[in-house]
Copies of this chain bind each other. A is one copy, B any other.
Amino acid sequence: MTDTLRDLATQLDQFAQERDWQQFHSPKNLASALVVETGELLEHFQWLTEAQSRELAQEKRDAVGAEIADVLLYLIQLANALGIDPVAAAQAKLKLNALKYPVDRARGSSKKYDEL
């Protein structure tokens, strides 16, 4: 994890400890909370056209930013609870995706790799 994410993880640990919230923070529950937050994020976009979603007004953009924050905070807590480094996992996944989606076959296609 980067120093910054590690720092966020430490702050979140302390935040939960001070409130005696570790009892609620099983990986199962954190994964649920993560999904719930992404639902709140998606809610901002559900009736927008794609074009509208590319041109959010500032107020809406701030609201979306607050939801992105919630998602990141639960993701860090979940990764931390499981002893997983999310950045290392992301870098490994990027390498895998390069193999699964070769440029020549994936260009301009939204198909999954098993359909390419």
Contacts and interface: CB of A to CB of B under 8 A. Distances in A.
A87 B72 contact: yes
Contacts of A75: 68, 71-72, 75
A73 B87 CA distance: 9
A49 B23 CA distance: 10
Interface string A35-51: 11011111111111111
Contacts of A4: 2, 4-5, 87
Contacts of A5: 2, 4-5, 87
Interface of A: 2-5, 8, 11-12, 15, 18-21, 23-24, 26-29, 31-36, 38-54, 56, 61, 64-66, 68-73, 75-76, 78-79, 81-84, 86-87, 89-94, 97-98, 101, 103, 106-110
